[in-house]
Structure 1
Amino acid sequence: MSASRAAVPVSFFGIPVGLLAFANTWHVGVRLWHLPVDVAQGLSLAGLATWAVLLVLYTHKWLAHRADAVAELQHPLQSAFAALVPVSSMLAAAALIPFSHDAALALFVVALAAQLAVGLWLNGRMWMGGRPPELVTPALYLPSVAQSFVAATVSAAFGWTQLGLLFFGVGLFAWLALESVIVQRASVGTPLPAALRPVLGIQLAPAVVGGGAWMSLTTGAPDMFAWLLLGYGLYQALLLLRMLPWIREQAFVPGWWAFSFGTAALPALAMRMAERGASGLAAPLAPVLFVAANVVFVLLIVQTLALLVRGTLLPAAAPAA
């Protein structure tokens, strides 16, 4: 697809998704460890600002580069990242609650309707077949799993627990169905080309984002299901570390933000479990995971700013992932 540098790839919405999720992790740290609230608020504002700027630029893309935007939505891989627009918008709604409940609620309702429309359209197309096997990647989680788990979490923030449980069910069973397809393709298909390997970072997210949603929908001490989700999330993190030298054959591009959502959600899950009185491993794991997440986010932010300073943040052609 031939896009100009002015046309922002829809995958860039992974940046505010990561920043807003990381801000939430810091807010949990404020409650749990009395960390500086200014840092958490600064991350929230940075995430909101990035989301707002990208929303304007993406709208401009549809107005000034409509052919590129349509081609992106028709692409079997790039189209999955369209789900990040409502995902980031729902996270933005949650971040706005302390500032204006009414504005946050209005944004959430619009984003919720958008995520249903985007998810149903993309998943309906998937069911019709024709996807090249080499493009079966964890990006498939975005339209159904990511959108639904985030909808569940933010529904709970507005007190809509039953609605949140409905979306949690969508996310959970879609995740279980899709994971077998993705693992089967990875194990028997040709290796992913280097340019697509950063998208594997999404593999970390379902268990821990789902765990965060489950914690939002339940009360009291974490139950066995929360521990199961944390355990699988930890295993996925270790698996990605094992594959990191292979993934790093792709130099840093904005697509590396695919790691951000899961990286923020993993410590947040352990921290919320510790906050809710979990005994045993949650308390010692939480600070280790939190420090590791901060290191990852510093690297992502510094590398992204370096691309921006060099004027290479936007490639001459929109990226495949």
Structure 2
Amino acid sequence: MSTDPAAASSTVPPPSLAHLPVGVFAVAMGVGGTAVAWYRLEEAFGLALPVNDILAGVGLAVAAVAVVAYAAKVVRHPGAARAEWQHPVKSAFVGTLPVSLMVLAAAFAPIAEGVSAALWWPGAVLQLLATVLIMRTWIADARVQAVHVHPAWFIPIVGNLVAPLAGVAHAPAEISWYFFGVGALFWLGLLPIVLGRLFLEGTMPWRLAPTLAILAAPPAVASLAWVRLGGSWTDPVAMMLLGVVIFQLALLASQATYLRKVPFAVSAWAYTFPLAAAASALLAAYESGATAFAAWVGVAAVAVASLLVLGLGWRTAVAVVRGELLTAEG
């Protein structure tokens, strides 16, 4: 019995907007976060570079394209969108939408306050909704098992810690404290669950391997938010969080050999925002005079995040041209 190659290839589903992953908003998160890191670098060393402005503009353009594309998916393929939002693994990436808006709000804060506010308010509202709905899925969906847990579960939680970065300037203080409290409490509550999955449930699928970098994001963003809310880089809370950031960066670096072999997927953008957030925290601490050592680690983190944004940006553009972002995951 012979097999017709043409007939066999016809069984492969063609690219479709239904397969556009909601995690595409992580691209805007990474670019926006790197913009903030460059702003911190410029402030820490007294530089006058346009990198923050350029990256903030690029991040906003990427977010706009992603919003239009994903909105088209919701309209044309509502069933696929709902399935993604309720999926035990994929639902956490829904948080990339509100987080990307609030990260860009922080990037635009020193450039255009009006743009920053226009991004922050819808981002904050969506963050509130996303946190409630995603956590409801984790609690109420009987399909959710320990093996479904992965570090990207931190995304909808960390979004609450991102909110105060620009929210302090745009909303009453109690709103920022609300977000900070939710983010800090549930980060610490979720941490042993995620570590238990990583330690005891075997290695993650290759598409999720880059999410290991996300472990660096909560302590980095929490330290930035803590200082924005009135804390100091020299107080015990901030210094403790910076220590955790440095440890997480070292742990991530120890896995670089393995992670370099992982094939490209949109999830690779998970490297960028945590590195940028870590750089922002370390450079802000250095600028305040809290620590000199942080400067070297912060500069290295900015450099790596910037190179990743360039490399992943090129690879993502190639994937768009080839239609790879619109193909079903194997």
Q: Distance in 1 between matches of 2:117 and 2:315?
A: 34
5+ residue gaps, structure 1, are none
1:26 CA displacement? 0.8
Q: Does 2:98 match 1:86?
A: yes
1:165 CA displacement? 2.3
5+ residue gaps, structure 2, are 1-12
Q: Does 2:134 match 1:117?
A: no
Q: Does 2:139 match 1:127?
A: yes
Letter in 2 for 1:269: A
Deviates more, 1:253-262 or 1:85-94: 85-94
Change (3 A) 1:3 1:223: farther
Partner of 2:273: 261
Q: Distance in 2 between matches of 1:141 and 1:224?
A: 24
Q: Is the 8 A contact 2:233 2:239 kept in 1?
A: no
Q: Does 2:213 match 1:201?
A: yes
Deviation per residue, 1:111-146 (Å, 9 max, x gap): 212111111011122122521322110121122x22
Q: Is the 8 A contact 1:2 1:318 kept in 2?
A: no
Partner of 1:108: 120
Q: Distance in 1 between matches of 2:320 and 2:47?
A: 30
Q: Distance in 2 between matches of 1:282 and 1:199?
A: 24
Deviation per residue, 1:23-46 (Å, 9 max, x gap): 011111222223343221100100
Q: Is the 8 A contact 1:14 1:257 kept in 2?
A: yes
Q: Is the 8 A contact 1:157 1:216 kept in 2?
A: no
Change (3 A) 1:178 1:160: same
1:153 CA displacement? 1.6
1:63 CA displacement? 0.9
Partner of 2:169: 157
1:203 CA displacement? 1.7
Q: Distance in 2 between matches of 1:305 and 1:91?
A: 22
Deviates more, 1:111-120 or 1:87-96: 87-96
Q: Is the 8 A contact 1:204 1:262 kept in 2?
A: yes
Partner of 2:8: none
Q: Is the 8 A contact 1:208 1:233 kept in 2?
A: yes
Partner of 1:25: 37
Q: Does 2:83 match 1:65?
A: no
Letter in 2 for 1:54: A
275, 281, 306: which one pairs with 1:294? 306
Partner of 1:12: 24
Q: Distance in 1 between matches of 2:295 and 2:259?
A: 31
TM-score (norm 2): 0.87
Q: Distance in 2 between matches of 1:175 and 1:246?
A: 26
Deviation per residue, 1:257-300 (Å, 9 max, x gap): 01111110111111101111213422343333333333333332
Partner of 2:179: 167
1:195 CA displacement? 2.7
206, 226, 233: which one pairs with 2:245? 233
311, 314, 317: which one pairs with 2:328? 317
Q: Is the 8 A contact 1:25 1:265 kept in 2?
A: yes
Q: Distance in 1 between matches of 2:219 and 2:231?
A: 19
Q: Is the 8 A contact 2:15 2:323 kept in 1?
A: no
Percent of aligned pairs sharing the same letter = 30
Q: Distance in 1 between matches of 2:133 and 2:311?
A: 35
Deviates more, 1:122-131 or 1:13-22: 122-131
1:175 CA displacement? 0.8
Change (3 A) 1:247 1:23: same
Letter in 2 for 1:140: W
What is the RMSD computed on CA atoms of the aligned residues?
Answer: 2.4
Deviation per residue, 1:74-93 (Å, 9 max, x gap): 21111111111111112233
Letter in 2 for 1:132: Q
Q: Distance in 2 between matches of 1:255 and 1:84?
A: 11
Q: Distance in 2 between matches of 1:85 and 1:146?
A: 12
Q: Does 2:117 match 1:139?
A: no
Letter in 1 for 2:145: P
Q: Is the 8 A contact 1:23 1:41 kept in 2?
A: yes
Q: Is the 8 A contact 1:7 1:65 kept in 2?
A: no
Change (3 A) 1:62 1:2: farther
Q: Distance in 2 between matches of 1:269 and 1:248?
A: 25
Q: Distance in 2 between matches of 1:154 and 1:284?
A: 26
